Amino acid sequence: MREISIVSGNRHKVDELMPLAKAHGIRLKWINYSKVEIQADGISDIARAGGILAYAALGVPLIVEDTGIFISALKGFPGPYSAQAYKTIGLEGILTLLKGRKSRKAEFRTAICYAGDEDTVVFEGVVHGTIATRIRGGRDFGYDPIFIPEGHTKAYSEMELAEKNSASHRAAAFEKFAEYLSRK
C-alpha cells in the first residue's frame, strides 16, 4: 500500500478522504497542521502554494487540499474565503444575500495539490448545483446543508457519506490524483 501524507487542520476533510484513499489502495497519513494559505482568486493557486511550502518544510510526499463554494449571483463569493464567510456571516448570511435572486447556481470546487520529490501537480474537482432556500438537516459540515448537487434533490448534508463521496467535488479531485499516482 502506497503511503501519502495529508497536511490539513480540518478533520472533516480527512474523514471524507480516508475511505476514498483506501478504495484506491492508498494509505493516507494525517499530519494535523494547517498549511500556509495565500490569498488568490483560484483555489488551485492556493493549493499549489500550500503544497510547495508544506513539502519544503516536511520533505515527504504529501497532498494538501483547498475547497471553496462559488455562487454565481454573488460573482463567485465566498469562493477561496468560504471558511471565513462560514465563521462570520454563516449560512444564514449566504441565504440573506440570495433572497430575491433569480439564480441560485453555485459550484463547489476542490483542488488537491500533490507535492513529491519530482512533481508538484494540482487536480481539480467541480460539482455544479444550487443553493437551497433554507438550511437543510443532516450532517453539519460547512456548506453541505445548503448545497444541492445537480441531478439530486437532497443537500450534501442529507446524504450518507458514501453517497456524497459518489458525487462530490472533493471525491472528483481525489479520483484524478489517485489515477495520476497509479501511473507513477
Catalytic residue numbers read 66
Based on the number of CB atoms within 10 Å of its own CB, is 64 exposed (0-12), middle (13-18) or buried (19 or more)?
buried
Site for its own copies, residues 41 to 80, rule: CB under 8 A: 41, 46, 74-80
Look up residue 37 and give its three cell numbers: 494559505
Nearest distance from residue 88's CB to its own copies, in Å? 4
Q: How far is the CB of 118 from its own copies (least distance, A)?
A: 25
Q: Give me the DSSP letters along 97-125.
A: HHTT-S--EEEEEEEEEEE-SS-EEEEEE
Instruction: State the Cα–Cα distance between residues 152 and 184, nearest whole angstrom.
Output: 35
Q: Binding of its own copies at residue 93 (CB under 8 A)?
A: yes
Beta strands 26-32 and 2-8 are parallel
Q: Which of 141, 180, 135 is nearest to 164 (CA)?
A: 141
Shortest CB 33 distance to its own copies, Å: 15
CB of residue 95 vs its own copies: minimum separation in angstroms? 11
Give the CA radius of gyration of the chain.
16
Which string of x and - marks every residue 94-123 that binds its own copies (by CB under 8 A)? --xx-x------------------------
Cβ proximity to its own copies: between 36 and 161 the closer is 36
Tell whether residue 38 is a contact of its own copies (CB under 8 A). yes
The residues binding its own copies (CB under 8 A) are 36-39, 41, 46, 74-81, 84-85, 87-89, 93, 96-97, 99
